[in-house]
Amino acid sequence: MKAVQPIRDMEVLDKCLSIAREHDKNRKKGEVCWELLLIVGFNTSLRISDIRRFKVKDLRGKDYAEIRAQKTGKEARILINPHARRVINRLLAGRPGDEYILQSKQRDAATHKVRPITRQRAYQIINAIAKRAGIQDHIGCHTLRKTFGYHYYKMTGDVVSLQRILCHSSRRETLIYIGVIQEEIDESLMKFNLTGRR
């Protein structure tokens, strides 16, 4: 199985957000807001399994996203940066507080209660955006989290804080996860030459 990649290029990331915004202009009532999925994913470092469980009241008007991580069971309290907070508040304006931020049109078969989108639906949305953006890399749900990590590291150079944010056990694990080690290997191999012609 191929490892999914972060979106490294800011222009491509901006293109993905533009595609999501354009899609959302024509979405029908009750359909998932693609821009919201990307904004929360790119800006919080959370996994899709956690993002999809947020309700409107958990994020609208909040400075922090607070959740018990489904995978690890650990409490997570993530600052929502002011830029993302403005967008999130705009996208959630007027929605009932008890709605899931990424609410499915489908109801639970047994209880008939509303439910959040599935991980598979999130994957379909992310891949539809990536395809329209012309992304050739392997993309998946972890792309959002890896994109956060990659750009956090590139902007701050602080792998120790990033390791803590992502709950990784080592700096090496974090650098591998966000694709920096592979990127460095690729760059060094581009300079490598044993053809005898220099």
Q: Catalytic residue among 71, 112, 113, 198, which?
A: 71
Q: Is 23 a catalytic residue?
A: no
Q: Catalytic residue among 47, 60, 121, 146, which?
A: 47
C-alpha distances (whole Å) from 155 to each of 26, 143, 171, 180, 194 are 34, 18, 17, 13, 35
Q: Is 47 a catalytic residue?
A: yes
C-alpha span between 28 and 190 (Å, rounded):
47
Q: Is 113 a catalytic residue?
A: no
Q: Is 153 a catalytic residue?
A: no
Q: Is 142 a catalytic residue?
A: yes
C-alpha span between 183 and 185 (Å, rounded):
5
**How many CB atoms neighbour CB 79 within 10 A?**
13
Interhelix angle for 142-156 vs 159-166, to 10°? 160
Q: Is 123 a catalytic residue?
A: no
Q: Catalytic residue among 100, 150, 152, 177, which?
A: 177
Q: Catalytic residue among 23, 52, 146, 168, which?
A: 168
Q: Catalytic residue among 52, 145, 146, 151, which?
A: 145
Residues in the chain, total: 198
Q: Catalytic residue among 23, 52, 85, 142, which?
A: 142
Residues noted as catalytic:
47, 71, 142, 145, 168, 177
